[in-house]
Structure 1
Amino acid sequence: MRTLIKFFLLPCLTFSMLACKKYLDVIPDDVATLNSSFANENEAQAYLLGNCYANLQRLSDVCRNAGFTTSGEVIIPTDLPSNQSLKGSGQDAGFNLLRGFQNVQNPLFNFWDAYNQGLNLWQSIRFCNTFLDNVNTPPDVTVTERKRWIAEAKFLKAYYHYWLIRMYGPIPIADVALPVNATTDQVRQKQLPVDSCFNYVVHLIDEALPDLPPSIQNVITEDGRITATIALAVKAEVLATEASPLFNGNPDYSSFANIDGTKLFSAAPDKAKWQKAADACKAAIDAANASGAALYQFVAQSGIAHMTDSTKLLLTLQGAVTSSWNTEQLWTLNPYFGYQIQASPRVNALATTVYNFFSNFSVPIGESELFYTNNGVPINEDKTWDYPNRYKVVQGDDANGHYVRKGYSTNKGNLNREARYYADIAFDGSTWFGSSNTDDNNPDVINAVNGPAAPLDPIAYNATGYWARKLVPYQTASANNSFQTFNYSWPFMRLPALWLLYAECLNEANGPSAAVYTWVDQVRARAGLPGIQAAWAQYSRTPNKPGTQDGLRQIIHQERRIELAFEGQAGWDLRRWKELQNVLVNPFLGWNVMNETKTTGQYYNLQTVYQPQFGLRDYLFPIQKADMLYNPNLVQTPYW
């Protein structure tokens, strides 16, 4: 792992400091401080990196990302004391959304005006506008550098608007910093139609593109800054989001209008938006290729006692996320992922002595069943897989020996699954390569039947019996009564995400084609799976599914949810597809993890952790009531 000296990004701003400024606020009134911020090149760059970039880096915290916490991929126990949520991190607001705790008085995930675990993105936009107003002041900045800074600020301003659009739909556009003598009408702006909002974002990105570098050359000082490749990939995602059912002629919002009666959503879907998004995806893929983007492949390192090809594949799939700044990661944010101990099971005897081994990130059984069989088709479609008896207890066998301990009693559903299942999820009976044991001939095994270490900490437990292994590098270990993390920076976008987005857009625009299959099959091939057509023809009970637009849509959606599991993407995808409500209609299930008798028979009884609460109104977030009073020109999110 290379050592990088990252540029300064996170000024010491508390949430109370963030909350003291209203959105769309005027420029700072401390003129002397503002002037000093742009007195020279160093000060101006510090303003860009320390203010404009700041909240972008905070978005690397998955617990501040609705794409992670409201996806149903990971939940937390419901009985954690309020003062010890996630064992003191206080990052449970997003998870509580699915428990029905959302409200308009003090909304959870309030990114409109900083509160609780929200981020004030309007303040971030204001920083960008202030920077753009003053970037020409320092005399010692070269023309090339100034152009790049302007492009970065424009992209960041576009991205913050995009994040708000995904959350709230139609929003006001803060294109300029308002003067100190701005009138009330100037400050109290109206929401614009959602298509106008998306068009504004795309226009800003297009303005920024010519002056952004295609890739980072000086990785020591500049990793994490925006490139043209990142901007093109984001543009593709923005356009695909605009083309998706949530925003493209959504009948649920047909009556949603501005205070002056302007309709805020189009009346009918526009299929042409998908082709526009497809073209943007292809441009982003071409740029990524030109910049050297390629799928990550694990390279064996010193200290590995023994590793088979099966284990190497698992480490490749996991390392695509946990090996920072690799060629597959189109966009990586600087801060380290901070929840490894929440995602980790107790792997071995050393781990059982570690106090506060939280394990609170719990994967529901429904999420585990999303992954394919080893034939590359859904478990309920595979003709050769015993779906009705998937909850029976069986023993691990030779065929699954590298993933499940041979002879260990485990759930039958854990056998004969695709490699991504074993790379992404840990469970009772699963082997664990790493945590100081790198011999896959004699690996550690997860023994969840014995339950949490209740005498040490009764609230440090996993609620379902499934862990998000993908988030924990094999180098992370428990030793000497401590948990020693192998830090990695958070990947915001990977190359396979762009490939699958391109396939989705092509299918929506024109239906099934060889090109669609090719882009999806590239992702499947790295996971050791056959192509879509071959897999469905040979193993599926619905062999013609890939040949129809609807069937291929289902396949692509499931492929994205599998490939990008636990990466903060599924929640956004399920929202834009208008499928999250269907996913969350069923209760979150797990095994009897408390298992007082410590027996396999008692452990393998299905338990309801809780019934998620998610309705039509929850696709978009409510605006805080206080902000509605502050600006009477706003209209509340529908159904709130």
Structure 2
Amino acid sequence: MMKIHNRRTNVVLTILLSLLSLNACDYLEVIPVEQANMGDMMTDDESTRAMLYSCYGYLQNCGADLTNYYAFDFSGTDETVLPQEWGTAGSRVQWNAITPSSINEENNYPWEVWYNAIGYCNLFLKLIEENNPVLNRDNKERYIAEVKFLKAYYHFRALQMYGPIPIIDQFMSSNIAKNEIPGRSHFDYCIKYIVDLLDEAKRVLPEQTTPDFYGRATSVICKALKARVLVLAASPLWNGDFPDKTWRNINFETPDYGKELVSFKYEQKKWVNARNACIEAIKAADDIQAKLFDVEDAETWRINHGVGLPIVPGLGGTDAEKEDFQKRVMMLRYMNTTRPDQNNKEIIWGVSGGTGDRLSNLIVASLPHFILKGNSGEDIGGWGGISPTLYTIEHFYTKNGKLPSEDESFCDKSEWFESANLSNANIINLAVNREPRFYAWLSFDGDEFSTVLSNRKPLYCSMRDPNSTGYNSDRWGTRNYSVTGFMNKKWINPNTSIEESGRPNFSEMQYPATIIRLADLYLLLAECDAHLEEHQDEGIEYLNKIRTRAGVDAWTKTSLDASGKSLLDAVLEERFVEFYMEGSRYYDIRRYVKGKKHMKTNCYRGLNAMVYNPSFVSFNTPKQIDQPFDWNDRMYLLPIANKELYANPQMVQAPGY
């Protein structure tokens, strides 16, 4: 995370942004307006560095980043649902309610965010050459490389959401003729453009930054992003299986591709290229001693924080085995909530906007709506609305590393929603004998949500009690409730505590929103190997690095064959669990053209939770969630807002809109 918050820098950033007037209204206005006083900008190292940080600023846009609970791609999946009253962009994706006329009304329309960012990067590259001939050569080369990296990233994010996009390679005057504004380029052309920028940047950038500048581009981050870009290019949606075979440009032509936008022929070489990029990225991460976060790393912080081991219902085994399981649960909670300077060497790239940013909002949206009574007798809590679906609950593993429906030692499906007959009779069988990640990141009726959350005391979920964490619209309002009867714990630091004054210990919210971590590189390599028959052993090896860290049994060729799964099946199941609530699921569903399987109307189920004071049996009755969920193949891409189409005659709409 970049620490660029000193007062003088903030003043400079404010002045620069005011001068450039970058609030876009249509596609033409993503090209920054040239000002008469631009010659006075970026004339020394300090002002140049300030403008560089402005180029990074778009990473922290709350509507377009990868860890915002209301963003299109964060909550618009089958992992969770939100209260319908919130009406977030993610929920509207689930409902197939995003249209060319409505999309620009959504919070921080991503198209504008990314193209504003690209325009700003191009302006930086123009001005650094024109205004700063005496800038220190080493600094200049590094700044240029960083901005090329950012330009690659912003193009990539637009490509993920919108498919083939216009390439804006250089600063363009706002007076440019409409017929000179580029339209969508062929998808493979966009990929090559992004990869070429990353290759240019990685040759200049350092391997690492100092602790004061976490979040700034490095050569390792370039290589990791390149791996992700090339895996996207190799994935079925863009490697032969795009649903609409007629989609093409009308006017604009891409060099060497004409008016075609998508390749409909499968190319195995794309997986080979992606695998090579993954190997290069993993080697680069190894060279800087990156490693998976582990129990030893987390125990240092848990002990220093004075946080006890969590209660895990029905946990069996020897005392040593129980303690190891509990420590692993805590490690997984700390994994996403500690910083690189806190010995978290798994983070390849993360950004932070500080207290009050999207992570803080995500935390409040996850916390139960009742945590404790305040000093004046008032109820204190969060919003309690991020609600894991039954699909999520059922697709984390058992303690044996198998899906509950496939584990012969797990209770029969007919008994899943019956009491497990523990000391807390509210706990159901489906919540017992599960893997450590289940208890680290998901919460349920009778669960210890957190060990110290309630003024340094444990908070237990009572999901049927209308005066505790249960549904009660009269007391908690019509917006603060769990839709499914389950709650989210991921991204909440184990040391987070709410005081009777209502204030949390904000220092425990100061950690980066992770964009790329080492586990992602391992599973991307395993995914590539799953598509290449000669590399199956390597794929199993890297898949098992994640499973072993998670505390579940490793796969072997024999056990995979016996399960009837392919290596690809196992990798995608692992990605679902490992990257739950990290913004990956939206793209994994789309990359594999699985929208109809995972996001149609009947895919969204929960418990009967939106009832006042229900009985145990009534509450634990699975039901279809009453929201207007829908899937249409047009949803593989987001639409372009109508105003963008009117402003650019070269632009064509995504198919189906």
Q: TM-score range by the shorter chain?
A: 0.7 to 0.9
Confirm or deny: 8 A CA contact 2:186 2:260 kept in the other structure: yes
Tell which deviates more after alignment, 451-460 or 408-417: 451-460
**Alignment pair present for 1:470 and 2:493:** no
CA distance in structure 2 between the partners assigned to 1:473 and 1:253 by the alignment: 44
Q: Distance in 2 between matches of 1:437 and 1:458?
A: 21
Alpha-carbon contact 2:149-2:201 (below 8 Å) kept:
yes
Quick one: distance in 1 between partners of 2:447 and 2:399?
A: 16
Corresponding residue of 2:596 = 581
Give, in angstroms, the shift of residue 341 of structure 1: 1.4
Paired residue for 2:58? Answer: 55
Q: Does 1:200 align with 2:216?
A: no
Does 2:328 align with 1:313? yes
SS in 1 for 2:399: coil
| Match in the other structure for 2:138 | 144
Query: Following the alignment from structure 1 to structure 2, what is the Cα–Cα distance between the partners of residues 356 and 431?
Result: 16
Deviation at 1:55, TM superposition (A): 1.2
Alignment of 1:539-578 (within 5 A): 543-546=562-565, 551-578=566-593
Per the alignment, residue 244 of structure 1 pairs with 235
Matched, 1:186 2:177: no
Matched, 1:18 2:23: yes
CA distance change for structure 1 residues 431 and 26 in 2, over 3 Å: closer, same or farther?
closer
- 1:513 is the counterpart of 2:536: yes
Question: Normalization by structure 2: what TM-score?
Answer: 0.85
Q: CA RMSD in A?
A: 2.8
Cα distance in 1 for residues equivalent to 2:439 and 2:184? 46
Whether 2:592 is the aligned partner of 1:590: answer no
Q: Return the letter of the residue paired with 1:253.
A: D
- Following superposition, the deviation at residue 533 of structure 1 comes to 2.0
Q: 1:278-327: CA deviations, max 9, x gaps?
A: 00001000111111211113123235264333321111112111112221
Partner of 2:153, secondary structure, is helix
Q: CA deviation at 1:504?
A: 0.3
Residues 129-181 of structure 1, C-alpha deviations (whole Å, 9 max, x = no match): 11111113224421111111000110111111111111111111101112465
1:92 is matched by which residue type in structure 2?
T
Which of 248, 266, 273 in structure 2 is aligned with 1:257?
Answer: 248
TM-score (norm 1): 0.88
Map residues 169-568 of structure 1 onto 2, 5 A cutoff. 169-179=163-173, 182-187=176-181, 189-217=182-210, 219-220=211-212, 222-260=213-251, 262-297=259-294, 298=298, 299=300, 300-304=302-306, 306-307=308-309, 308-325=323-340, 326-336=344-354, 337-338=359-360, 339-345=362-368, 349-350=372-373, 353-355=378-380, 357-395=382-420, 397=422, 406-436=423-453, 444-450=459-465, 451-452=470-471, 454-459=473-478, 460-484=480-504, 485=506, 486-487=508-509, 488-510=511-533, 513-533=536-556, 537=559, 543-546=562-565, 551-568=566-583
The Cα shift of 1:240 comes to: 0.3
Q: Deviations over 1:57-88 (max 9, x none)?
A: 2225514643312122121111x2xxxx3xxx
1:469-498, CA deviations, whole angstroms, 9 ceiling, x for partnerless residues?
112111122321515152022111111111
For the 8 Å contact 1:253–1:265, the answer to whether it is kept is no
Could you tell me how far 1:554 is from its partner in structure 2?
1.1
Q: How many residues are matched?
A: 602
Match of residue 106 from structure 1: 102
Q: Aligned partners of 1:393 and 1:180: how far apart in 2?
A: 64
Tell me, yes or no, if structure 1 residue 70 matches structure 2 residue 76.
Answer: yes
Evaluate the alpha carbon distance shift between residue 24 and residue 544 of structure 1 in structure 2; reply closer, same or farther with a 3 A threshold: same
Shifted more, 302-311 versus 37-46: the winner is 302-311
Q: Is residue 42 of structure 2 the alignment partner of residue 42 of structure 1?
A: no
What is the DSSP-based 3-state SS (H/G/I as helix, E as strand, rest coil) of the residue aligned with 2:151?
helix
Q: CA deviation at 1:358?
A: 0.9
Give the deviation of 1:347 after TM superposition.
Answer: 7.1
Partner Cα distance (1:552, 1:378) in 2: 15
Partners of 2:208 and 2:590 lie apart in 1 by: 31
| Deviation sequence 1:572-604 (CA, Å, 0-9, x none) | 121111123311122422222233334323321
| Partner residue in 2 for 1:401 | none
Question: 1:496-516, CA deviations, whole angstroms, 9 ceiling, x for partnerless residues?
Answer: 111000000111123662211
| Aligned equivalents of 2:637, 2:416: Cα separation in 1 | 36
SS in 1 for 2:451: coil
Taking the aligned partners of 1:418 and 1:383, their CA distance within structure 2 comes to 15
CA distance in 2, matches of 1:281, 1:3: 25
Cα 1:175–1:3 change in 2 (3 A) is: closer
Of all paired residues, the percent bearing the same amino acid is: 26
Q: Cα offset for 1:199?
A: 0.7
* Greater share of helix: 2
The CA distance in 2 between the partners of 1:116 and 1:249, in whole Å, is 29
User: Alignment partner of 1:493: what SS?
Assistant: strand
Pick closer, same or farther for the CA change 1:323–1:215 going to 2, 3 Å. Answer: same
Q: How far apart are the structure 2 equivalents of 1:153 and 1:510?
A: 38
Determine helix, strand or coil for the equivalent of 2:352.
strand
**Long gaps (5+) in structure 1:** 86-90, 398-405
- Whether 2:49 is the aligned partner of 1:31: answer no
